Structure 1
Amino acid sequence: MKMFSSVLDGCELRYQNLSDNSLGEKGVGAFESLLKSQRSLEGLYLINDGISEAAARAVCELIPCTEKLKVLQFHNNMTGDEGAIAISELVKHSPALENVRCSSTRVASEGGVALAEALGTCNNLKKLDLRDNMFALPGCPNLNELNLSYLNLADEGCIVLANALRESATLLKVLEISGNEITAKAAPALPSLITSQRLLIKLNLFENELKDEGVDEIKDMFKALPLCWLHWMIMILKGEDYQESDEDGDENELES
């Protein structure tokens, strides 16, 4: 790793993808000279790298400038709260961020709050993936894709989320909230949320506990939405993959 780093030392890279390596803190240290030389990074990918809290701190300390950074991906690491706090400092100094993925990183409330506060300063953020963690939601007015699956939101969390999104993120195109144990109790909060998202094309409610009662609560919402929205949502509620079709028969079936 040190040899590879030294060969590239001094090269001005726009993207660094170091994913799928067992980096850890020592591995990050091996790339010290390369990371320190980067002042124009637009994308940094550290997916499935065994990034611990110490390794996350090392990454954030070594990169000298993130003003141009647009993509930051830390998926599937052992970052934890302390690592998330370190990442949040990097995020605060990355005003151009558009795409952040910090999913499956073992971050609990303390790190989640720090990261959420930092993300709240990212006015250009368009895509945010925080699944499989326990986070708060920042206000991101330009957000168009949000994945909060498998966070154990439950009914209370779903209602809070619905209220927050109606005010803080009205340009969503994709909303993923599968696997959150949402029941019919939270269903009444969904129609006003969805109808406030005029650009929405995908809503994923798969692996929740809505059942027939919950679906009945939101069926009027389906009637008010364009057919393309209806198709997406019915398929995903049933847990089926959406397959776009131009056949009139499919559309007629949905309309019925």
Structure 2
Amino acid sequence: MYCGVTDEGCAALASALRSNPSHLRELHLSGNKLGDSGVKLFSAVLENPHCKLEYLRLMYCGVTDEGCAALVSALKSNPSHLRELILSGNKLGDSGVKMISAVLENPLCKLEDLWLWDCGVTNEGCAALASALRSNPSHLRQLDLSENYLGDSGVKLLSDLENDPHYKLEIRLT
């Protein structure tokens, strides 16, 4: 993290992971200027059914809707391995959160921790997350939405899930 990885380094790492995707379990690239192009390179690795990556941390990497769409596409095609996804500090907004919510609806999704603090999420994103979690309640354990623009109705939707005994969800909203 925070090690100055550029597009060139990102391409080299993604190439190495494509040729041998089964050994790496954790990738922490937070604080590097990956942007959408870098996330697209790693998304191609995640699509590989031999990929066993469980922890992906991309805080403050310059990811927007475009990179989020690539990441979500990869997770839709290979949803069962990733356990933790940290995208905090990126400009995802509600549209990015809606895309991520589509992954959470998949019963094969095993994501347990999702960190989206400081991503520009509002009530609209909260509603999408709450809907996804109601349709597939068993896997997500921790959701961090602090430092977003959550309104009362969004907070209530998520708080209702957190207080429901059918969920094992711990939510951080502030």
When normalised by structure 2's length, the TM-score is 0.80
Quick check: 1:118 aligned with 2:45?
Answer: yes
- Determine the C-alpha separation between the residues in 1 that align with 2:107 and 2:17: 19
Of 145, 154, 159, 2:84 maps to 145
Aligned residues of 1:91 and 1:119 also touching (Cα < 8 A): no
Following superposition of structure 1 onto structure 2, how do residues 6-21 of structure 1 map, counting pairs within 5 Å?
Answer: none
- Determine the C-alpha separation between the residues in 1 that align with 2:29 and 2:54: 14
- Determine the C-alpha separation between the residues in 2 that align with 1:168 and 1:191: 15
Of 151, 155, 170, 1:215 maps to 155
When normalised by structure 1's length, the TM-score is 0.56
- Determine the C-alpha separation between the residues in 1 that align with 2:126 and 2:16: 37
Q: Residues 77 and 180 (structure 1 numbering): CA distance in 2 closer, same or farther, change over 3 Å? A: same
Of 143, 150, 164, 2:103 maps to 164
Identify unmatched segments of 5+ residues in structure 1. Answer: 1-74, 240-256
Aligned residues of 2:45 and 2:51 also touching (Cα < 8 A): no
Give the SS at the match of 2:124.
coil
The alignment covers a number of residue pairs equal to 160
Quick check: 1:96 aligned with 2:31?
Answer: no
Q: Residues 160 and 180 (structure 1 numbering): CA distance in 2 closer, same or farther, change over 3 Å? A: same
Give the SS at the match of 1:185.
helix
Q: CA RMSD in A?
A: 2.2
Identify unmatched segments of 5+ residues in structure 2. Answer: none
Following superposition of structure 1 onto structure 2, how do residues 11-50 of structure 1 map, counting pairs within 5 Å?
Answer: none
Instruction: State the AA in 1 paired with 2:60.
Output: D
Q: Residues 199 and 185 (structure 1 numbering): CA distance in 2 closer, same or farther, change over 3 Å? A: closer
Tell me the residue number matched to 2:117.
178
Could you tell me how far 1:168 is from its partner in structure 2? Answer: 8.3
Tell me the residue number matched to 1:63.
none
- Determine the C-alpha separation between the residues in 1 that align with 2:159 and 2:57: 28
Instruction: State the AA in 2 paired with 1:162.
Output: S
Q: Residues 168 and 146 (structure 1 numbering): CA distance in 2 closer, same or farther, change over 3 Å? A: farther
